[in-house]
Structure 1
Amino acid sequence: MPGIQETQLYCLADRRYYETPDRLPDEDTRYPLDRADPPTGWRRGTGGLWTALHPASAELPEQGWKIHISTVPEEAGRTLADTARICLEQGVAFKFLRSTRALRLMSSKYMNRSGAGKFITLYPEDEPALLKLLDALGEALDGRSGPYVLSDLRIGNAPVHVRYGAFAELWCRDADGGRVRAMRHPSGELVPDTRGVVFRIPEWVTVPERLRPHLAARAAARDDSFPYVVTEALQFSNAGGIYLAEHRTTKQRVVLREARPHCGLDPAGHDAVTRLHREHRALTRLAGLDCVPEVYGVRTVWEHHFLIEEHIEGTTLFDEIVERFPLVRGERTRAELDAYSRWARSVTDGLAQALDRIHARGLRFADVHPANVIIRPDGRVVLIDFEYATDLDDRDTPLAGAPGLQAPTGPGTSGAEADAYALWALWLHILMPLMEVTDHDRGKALTIERWARARYGLGADEGPPRPAALAHGLPADSGESTVDALLRGPEPDWPGIRERLLAGIHAGAAPDRADRLFPGDPAGFTTGGVCAANGAAGVLYALDRVGAPVPGAYVDWLARTAARRAPENPGGLFDGLPGVALVLARLGRREEGRELLDRALRAPAPSSADLRTGTAGTALAALRFASDGTGAPDAELLDRALRTAWELDSLVRDGATADGPPAPHSAGLLSGLCGAALLHLELHAHTGEEWLLHAAGAALAREAGHCVTMPGGSVQVKDGIRHLLYLDQGSGGVALVAQRYLARREDPALAALLPGVGQGCVLEFIREPGLFRGRTGLVATAHQLSGGAPRPEVLDSVRNLSWHLVAEEDRLLVPGSRLRRFSADLATGAAGVLLGLHTVFATPDERPDLLDVLTLG
């Protein structure tokens, strides 16, 4: 799953679906050079947010010293014109961000720190060309402003930076088996082209003599007079870091909040330094209040600004919610719910008092969310992060706020009213941490409020009041919604749900696009939009599995796009060509599917052993093709599957193999050794070889070793500090494969896990609705574990999908991973919800086996 910052990046171009940044609507801010015809003798190229110009007769070397130019939006046009003139005169290839809006995006808080600030990249063909360029650029851009590019060496007083790295798009595997950008070692081997936040030089590269003074100047910039020593990094972003530190002599512990000039731009165009000094002014104005940190001053070290403030002992409200929230552990007694709701009220009462005291000093806070609240050991609350704290009547500085907690502002909304809304929303979030869905449908705030009051037994006067002045941002509380009507009757209206989910899936289809057919998780873009988990293959599989028509244009798109995938990177069952091959075969395009599978089998073996991306999934796809039921098994494919099964059994027994991938670190159907066990079981069904049954049992025993019994009785996979029930990674997937194994051989230890897993699968609170890591997968698993018999708790869990699903005209839309945008894919979105509910509501003679369904059988 993408990280929080990466997910945020895919939220910038569209408010409905996850989108690549290059879909940014920026036509009105494009630079003239992006629109102009290329000069005679030059060719143009585009990629993402970048536009490139290359001399038509020249070929770039694979790697070398590259130059990065940074800038600020107000100087960007002039800097681009001057740099382009020099490149055109000297015949040097270059690329640039295509628009002012793209530049602001790449300079925003959510960009990767190592690449943030890069505006123009130049590719000199050799060292003499590099030095000639640096002379010209240093003179032309002297004194211009721009962020420091952390991965590079800055040259002089201009925003000019250099690093040695790849020019060509080369790839290799890193130490963890991931596919990363590469450059070529003198031996000819491809090695990772590390792009971190520190300037590094490959061991075989000699720094040009002309660059050595700049290297020395970088080292000399260190300020040893700074009186604080960092002891721990708490957070990083493109804006800077937050650090725990102590004074060199007094040993006083403080928090240092770092701001990098020209970086971390917000929607108003303010950089991190502007916000840091705003925070300093606010904390100075609030001095003496025990609900805010004491501020000790601001210090500039080299170019970076540091706000020095009191270290508050305690825990963030975010961590407290994770630790205390009762409905994920089965702890649902009235006493436990009452205790939690009283704690929620005590926290929000403390916050209300803190906000009143801040307002009394003439300031708004404007950024109420769980990570900005610290609970002291004695229960008192402290607000931190005052970057957006300004005068109560300020209408120019934008509000901040976490998704779902930001006030729906309108004409005349004051800072105090915005804080009051955020307080009410935060109270609901503590009781039911799902407020992100209200960004899709403000009416969900009322759904959540009604449910929370009923579940915790709270009267109408309990909790912070909903601000009357913000009523324009919420719909009328008219009672039952469309989603409630579909889900909350005596029996959920499965035909109606099915029809609306299908309509939502088709409404998002875009056959004219080359990068995706259906909207899905950001991970789908990295696989070319075709994969089973997050791309078109999974959606078309779900449509076919539930008996819905699959338009031929969709199948054509899948076959055509999959054929373009790089042969050296075919991926696995759920992230690559093996899964696409199975789906195409199912849809009547077996020859095209077999061609894709053969391409995957010819490529280097996957670097993981699991079902999602690794050898178990690829071998399972080969086995499915080997035995299509139309004739004798394909001996070559069957042998391939058997060899992989033997290798996986060796991995289970020995913990590692000499040449193969490592064992997965956790357990689950897609991310653990369950894939190996499933492969063994299916091969046993085909061959009857007894060692395969032993191998399946050994793999499952290892998976069971990750399972623990939680308070309340549910059985979950322990993964570090997390406990997981899901199909992808978690005990739900383990139980499904164990159930199939137990149908062939007794195993009391495995059998003992199943009731606890089934209990966990119907826990009241599940944060996401999807199939692989959400409610739909768990209710389908609970239904399968019960033998398909109707269970009231399964139907209750289905009804609670009303928290997530959004009705729009004749469609139902499904929020995907992290609930930030809608998704139609199999893993996180509407296709998975459709398929999972199909297994629950299908008639007994039509009901498919869930394990077959989940693995593209």
Structure 2
Amino acid sequence: VEKDTGRRVVLREARPHAGLDDRGADAVARLDNEEAMLERLAGLDCVPRLHGRTRHWEHHFLVQELIPGETLQEAIGRRHPLFRDGRDDGSDIGTDGGSDASELDTYTRWACDVLDRIERAVAQLHDRGVVFGDLQPGNVMVRPDGSVCLVDFETAHADGDGGTPALGTPGFTARWARSGRSVDTYGLAALTLALFCPLTPLLRFDPDKLAQLTAWSEARFPVPPGFGARLRQRLSPPPDHVPRDNTDAPDGSLWPEEPGADAEAALDSMTEAILLSATPERDDRLFPGDVRQFDNQGAALAFGAAGVLYALHVTGRSGHPAFAEHVDWLVRAARRTRWPRPGLYDGLCGVAYVLDRLGRGDEARETLARLDGVDLDGCGAGLFGGLAGIGATRLRFGDLSAAEALGERLARIVEDGGRLPGPADAVGLMHGWSGPALLFTRLHETTGDDRWRRLAQLALARDLGRCGAPGEGRLQVRDGQRWLPTLDRGGAGIGLVLDAYLRHHDDVHYARVRDRVRAGLGTELLLSPGLLDGQAGLLHAATRLAGPGSAAAVHLRSLGLHCVRFRGRRAFALDGLLKLSMDLATGTAGVLLAVHGALTGGPGAPLPLLEAAPVDAPA
């Protein structure tokens, strides 16, 4: 808020020598450019007013009008009917997903109206001789009255000056459309596609995605005639364009879209992609994945080698000659980590668990022994990296006293009505109360002590208290204005622990709750394909909790939208769709685990330690 005027404004900050782009221009140079463009476009309603410029020490600031409303990206997330399970009648999930025709029609009318307003705004810029240069949903504000305003003019430039934006948003730029108005023409077309199928960043990985994503949009939404043909024309490369990574012909396998379909070709393709990506010559990571693997998690279960090897093993795909060498890499990586994390998904426990599953018991116990020198006071309580996962691992290795001690630490919190250590909003399987509930369940299975059962029931109630009903007969985690169905923080993970609890306890109320969680797994489209935070997790839970109205077919089809090619094989990009991933949490290994269960019948392989504790666990 400006002291002199009382008006609320936006400050655009820049510092010298910071944020260098491909041409060596720093943030201040781009701020200079934005100031010049806003001055040139002054008076247009689709452009923020420039109030002035100021400087404090070395920091430069543009003072701009605060545009009320939300970004187009936020508006899409709030309105898109396929981002939520939209069945309002409580019916079973049909073959076309969960949203009815009226929701799809309403959304399509809104999207087409917004697109018309954006096209008129861009035309006004072009009439002033300005190319915007970075059209994407985060750079469009939608005001409460429905009008639009373009923001972030640091890459804008004068039409005809030969300028090419040095920065651009992946999925909304193309190497063959980087000069003049072609930049905005391509950006508008990509933005049009993103309004209906917001997976446009995948176009950079696989040229075949354009036909698939446009055809899907036409099939799912009542878009105007010729919608797909126009987008394919505007987004396709010119005939003389040579793809950057034109290696390895596609394997030709079709993506399976129904449970029970021929699984081997798709599963083999994902397996080959994972193995082809391996870099055993590197010490920092074995398979490409989430950047968190470089934070002492290169061997870990979620983002590192252990999770990939686990997925290959439990899906029966560990017969490759290189597999034993990869296991040796995992052993070496666990030994050389100087500051190991203790947890199940992020540290030593997960590595020990996987080595034990792979028949490397001595190395597994050696890895687990390193826990004795790790202070657990700083870790959280959940299954991912906290006491629940560590306790469940100790129990699997037969150390009942250690598991009970960790269980007692968690019991004191739940019995006193306290808050779990860690983030205040922690909920769900990986970081919330469902992780301790799983440990309590396993302790009851092992000891028969009914107190552990009551604690599991109470811990589940704490997570279920964060849930609500997005529609009749369904249950998901409520997070502000969002509903979370996912495996890590959403209903899917809570449902798996409910199911584990109910395998040994006849609880009619919790059985009904589990069924409502299962009914809430119909969200047709998530922006991530991953096991923990995306579509594969919903598929995995739908398969494990199979019942009337199972959503497995819905998620298989949606994973087909996410699927891209790596060296001709099928692979997946992590959340954000900017980088291919092979890891268990975010990438291809997690999808392999989920798809294998859906296609081969039965509940499929469980997540680590979601299986019952072995009664003959070694001492």
Fold agreement, TM-score > 0.5: yes
Aligned pairs for 1:249-648 (under 5 A) are 249-331=4-86, 332-398=99-165, 400-409=167-176, 414-462=179-227, 465-466=230-231, 468=233, 471-472=236-237, 485-488=254-257, 492-549=261-318, 551-566=323-338, 569-605=340-376, 606-626=378-398, 637-648=399-410
Give the gaps of 5 or more residues in structure 2. Answer: 87-98, 243-249, 615-619
Counterpart position of 2:573: 815
Counterpart position of 1:688: 448
Query: What does the per-residue CA deviation read over 1:680-712, in whole Å, with 9 as the maximum and x for residues that have no partner?
Result: 222222221111111111111111111111146
Summarize the Cα distance change of 1:670–1:313 in structure 2 as closer, same or farther, 3 Å threshold.
closer
Summarize the Cα distance change of 1:585–1:257 in structure 2 as closer, same or farther, 3 Å threshold.
same
Of residues 649, 656, 676, the one that matches 2:411 is: 649
Summarize the Cα distance change of 1:778–1:652 in structure 2 as closer, same or farther, 3 Å threshold.
same
SS of the residue aligned with 1:486? coil
SS of the residue aligned with 1:305? strand
Query: In 1, distance between residues paired with 2:433 and 2:410?
Result: 9
Summarize the Cα distance change of 1:405–1:420 in structure 2 as closer, same or farther, 3 Å threshold.
same
SS of the residue aligned with 2:130? coil
Summarize the Cα distance change of 1:854–1:482 in structure 2 as closer, same or farther, 3 Å threshold.
farther
Any conservation in 1 of the 2:139–2:152 contact (CA below 8 Å)?
A: yes
Aligned pairs for 1:780-819 (under 5 A) are 780-786=540-546, 793-819=551-577
Query: What does the per-residue CA deviation read over 1:575-625, in whole Å, with 9 as the maximum and x for residues that have no partner?
Result: 111111111122222111111112113321152111110111111111111
* Larger RCO, structure (CA 8 Å, separation 6 or more): 2
Query: In 2, distance between residues paired with 1:560 and 1:590?
Result: 15
Query: Which residue identity does 1:415 align to in structure 2?
Result: G
Query: In 2, distance between residues paired with 1:470 and 1:731?
Result: 37
Rg larger in structure: 1
Name the stretch that deviates more: 581-590 or 750-759. Answer: 750-759
- Alignment of 1:778 with 2:550, yes or no, is no
Query: What does the per-residue CA deviation read over 1:548-600, in whole Å, with 9 as the maximum and x for residues that have no partner?
Result: 2262211111111101123x643201111111111112222211111111211
Any conservation in 2 of the 1:608–1:614 contact (CA below 8 Å)?
A: yes
Q: TM-score normalised to the size of structure 1?
A: 0.65
Summarize the Cα distance change of 1:393–1:854 in structure 2 as closer, same or farther, 3 Å threshold.
farther
Query: In 1, distance between residues paired with 2:612 and 2:131?
Result: 52
Query: In 2, distance between residues paired with 1:721 and 1:317?
Result: 16
SS of the residue aligned with 2:254? helix
SS of the residue aligned with 2:156? coil
Query: Which residue identity does 1:405 align to in structure 2?
Result: F
Query: What does the per-residue CA deviation read over 1:225-244, in whole Å, with 9 as the maximum and x for residues that have no partner?
Result: xxxxxxxxxxxxxxxxxxxx
How far is 1:305 from its partner? Answer: 2.2
Name the stretch that deviates more: 389-398 or 606-615. Answer: 389-398
Q: TM-score normalised to the size of structure 2?
A: 0.89
SS of the residue aligned with 2:573? coil
Query: In 2, distance between residues paired with 1:546 and 1:309?
Result: 56
Aligned residues: 590
Name the stretch that deviates more: 372-381 or 457-466. Answer: 457-466
Query: Which residue identity does 1:276 align to in structure 2?
Result: L
Counterpart position of 1:840: 598
Query: In 1, distance between residues paired with 2:38 and 2:575?
Result: 36
Summarize the Cα distance change of 1:722–1:333 in structure 2 as closer, same or farther, 3 Å threshold.
closer
Summarize the Cα distance change of 1:259–1:537 in structure 2 as closer, same or farther, 3 Å threshold.
same
Counterpart position of 1:666: 426
Query: In 2, distance between residues paired with 1:664 and 1:753?
Result: 24
Query: Which residue identity does 2:201 align to in structure 1?
Result: E
Aligned-residue sequence identity (percent) comes to: 40
SS of the residue aligned with 1:472? coil
How far is 1:843 from its partner? Answer: 4.0
SS of the residue aligned with 2:219? helix
How far is 1:403 from its partner? Answer: 2.1
SS of the residue aligned with 2:265? helix
Provide the alpha-carbon RMSD of the alignment. Answer: 2.7
Query: Which residue identity does 1:324 align to in structure 2?
Result: R
Counterpart position of 2:476: 716
Query: In 2, distance between residues paired with 1:364 and 1:748?
Result: 63
Of residues 502, 523, 527, the one that matches 1:767 is: 527
Query: In 1, distance between residues paired with 2:268 and 2:481?
Result: 40
Aligned pairs for 1:30-179 (under 5 A) are none
Summarize the Cα distance change of 1:578–1:469 in structure 2 as closer, same or farther, 3 Å threshold.
closer
SS of the residue aligned with 1:593? helix
Of residues 561, 584, 587, the one that matches 1:826 is: 584
Any conservation in 2 of the 1:255–1:309 contact (CA below 8 Å)?
A: yes
Summarize the Cα distance change of 1:826–1:282 in structure 2 as closer, same or farther, 3 Å threshold.
same
Which structure dedicates a bigger proportion of its chain to strand? 1
SS of the residue aligned with 1:814? strand
Query: Which residue identity does 2:559 align to in structure 1?
Result: L
Summarize the Cα distance change of 1:512–1:848 in structure 2 as closer, same or farther, 3 Å threshold.
closer
Query: In 1, distance between residues paired with 2:189 and 2:214?
Result: 10
- Which runs of at least 4 in structure 1 moved beyond 6 Å after TM superposition? 481-484, 854-857
Name the stretch that deviates more: 503-512 or 646-655. Answer: 646-655
How far is 1:748 from its partner? Answer: 4.0
Any conservation in 1 of the 2:13–2:62 contact (CA below 8 Å)?
A: yes
Summarize the Cα distance change of 1:362–1:463 in structure 2 as closer, same or farther, 3 Å threshold.
farther
